[in-house]
A = this chain, B = another copy of it.
Amino acid sequence: MNVDGKHYTTIWVDETDDKIIQIIDQTRLPHSFEIVNLTTVNEAAAAIKEMWIRGAGLIGATAGYGMYLAALEAPENEFDDFLQLAAREFIDTRPTAKNLEWAVKRQLKAILSVQGTSEKITTAFTTAKSIAVEDAEFCRRIGEHGIHLISEISKRKKGAPVNILTHCNAGWLAFVDYGSATSPIYAAYNAGIPVHVWVDETRPRNQGASLTAWELGKHGVPHDIIVDNAGGHLMQHGMVDIAFVGADRVTTGGDAANKIGTYLKALAAVDNGVPFYVAFPSSTIDWEIKDGIKEIPIEERSEDEVRFMSGKTPEGPQTVLICPEESRARNWGFDVTPSRLITGLITERGICRASEEGLRSLYSEGYSEGTST
């Protein structure tokens, strides 16, 4: 999407040197827009591990390009071994990220299936590009499907802005372009439908206040940041017309694991008759499990993400302690929204009910490693 009028994706090949991959360093957002070059396996692995980039789709795309960098780096006489080691290094950066392993394995299979170093490098390059292009394309289609939900409301409201609530960052910064939850919003905005977004700040890491607000603002989409506590009140007073969130994992039953706090917003949406949609590319679906609350393991993260808060001061970046020195915190990263609270799921193939029947209506063949469209 746009940054001050110029189109960007979150990862791309340098225009003048196709041995350089470029990314936006998201740890510097929203206060500074910095582009980083990745030229080695170690740099690409650090980009994932240190969260210069994050988000399911973008992690996968970065690992894809990382495997291309591995092919460039690999010594000719131990090419395949080097690639295998690089694959392991990438997979170990964020062990729970589903897309990461998928992208690395797809690359490995493609590269090892051809002969000759230069052919392998070419294959690695085209495969990395395909992974990234597919990611953006899948997100674009989510927008194509989701825009109708917004335009219907817009008609009902006779052109008054459609108020949309979102949680965390399921925006273009989490993918290669468009985003999942934000894709219908960008599509509507670009089509001239008046929208206004309530951006949950999304404690503890504040991806809403720092990333979603930044990307919406840079693209020009009207928005206001609210605390995570506020969504229920807004819904009670008719100030939310529809909610779109992303997902980190969706079960065959339609339960959705997403950033902690999503479940609370879904409860409020149901209580107030607000449509609540979960948007994601089909690589997010875990066809092996059905009951999200029982079966999706929820990562517990460092207590210091809760106890400290980072931001900007006139003198530069700063981190502050926000609780007593002696108090401890607990920090679960995700929660699971049961399918019964979800109005519908939006994938690259369309919109369906949050149920096994719904998902099977879009994926009658079951999911097959991102090659299905």
Interface positions of A (Cβ within 8 A of B) = 30-31, 199, 201-204, 206, 209-210, 213-214, 217, 223-234, 236-237, 259-261, 263-265, 267-268, 271, 293, 298, 306-313, 318-332, 334-336
With both beta carbons as reference points, the residue of chain B lying nearest to A312 in the complex is identified as B321
CA distance A327 to B219 in the complex (A): 12
Distance, CA A191 to CA B197, complexed state (A): 49
Contact A320 B327, CB 8 Å, known A229-B264, A264-B232, A335-B236: no
Q: Which residues of B contact A233 (CB under 8 A)?
A: 260, 263, 298, 332, 334-336
User: Which chain B positions have C-beta within 8 A of A260?
Assistant: 227, 229-230, 233
Query: What is the CA–CA distance of A230 and B308 in the complex, to the nearest angstrom?
Result: 16
Question: Known: A233-B260, A264-B232, A306-B201. Is A226-B320 also a contact (CB below 8 A)?
Answer: no
Report how far A236 CA is from B337 CA in the complex, Å. Answer: 10
Chain B residue at smallest Cβ distance from A29: B324
A227 near B204: Cβ-Cβ < 8 Å: yes
Of listed A202, A217, A298, residue having the most chain B CB within 10 A: A217
B228 touches A329 (CB 8 A): no
Tell me whether A321 and B330 are in contact in the complex, defined as CB-CB below 8 angstroms, given that A229-B264, A232-B264 are known contacts. Answer: no
Pick the contact of A309: B268, B309, B330 (CB < 8 A): B309
Measured CB to CB, the closest approach of chain B to A313, in angstroms, equals 6
- Tell me if B210 and A323 are in contact (CB < 8 A): yes
Could you show 17 A-B contacts with beta carbons less than 8 Å apart? A30-B327, A31-B321, A203-B228, A206-B322, A210-B322, A210-B323, A214-B324, A226-B329, A229-B259, A229-B261, A231-B264, A232-B267, A236-B336, A309-B322, A310-B322, A312-B322, A319-B320
Residues of chain B contacted by A324 (CB below 8 angstroms): 30-31, 210, 213-214, 217
For the complex, give the distance between the alpha carbons of A261 and B268 in Å: 11
Expressed in whole angstroms, the Cα–Cα distance for A328 and B201 within the complex equals 12
Q: Which residue of B lies closest to A307 (CB)?
A: B225
Whether A313 and B321, one on each chain, are in contact in the complex, defined by CB atoms closer than 8 angstroms, is: yes
Task: Tell whether, in the assembled complex, residue A203 and residue B225 are in contact, meaning their CB atoms are under 8 Å apart.
Answer: no
Q: Whose C-beta in chain B lies nearest to the C-beta of A226?
A: B330
- Contacting A217 at CB < 8 Å: which of B224, B318, B326? B326
Provide the residues of chain B in CB contact with A267, threshold 8 Å.
Answer: 232, 264, 267-268, 271
Residue of A264, A313, A326 ringed by the most chain B CB atoms within 10 A: A264
A288 to B154, CA, bound (A): 38
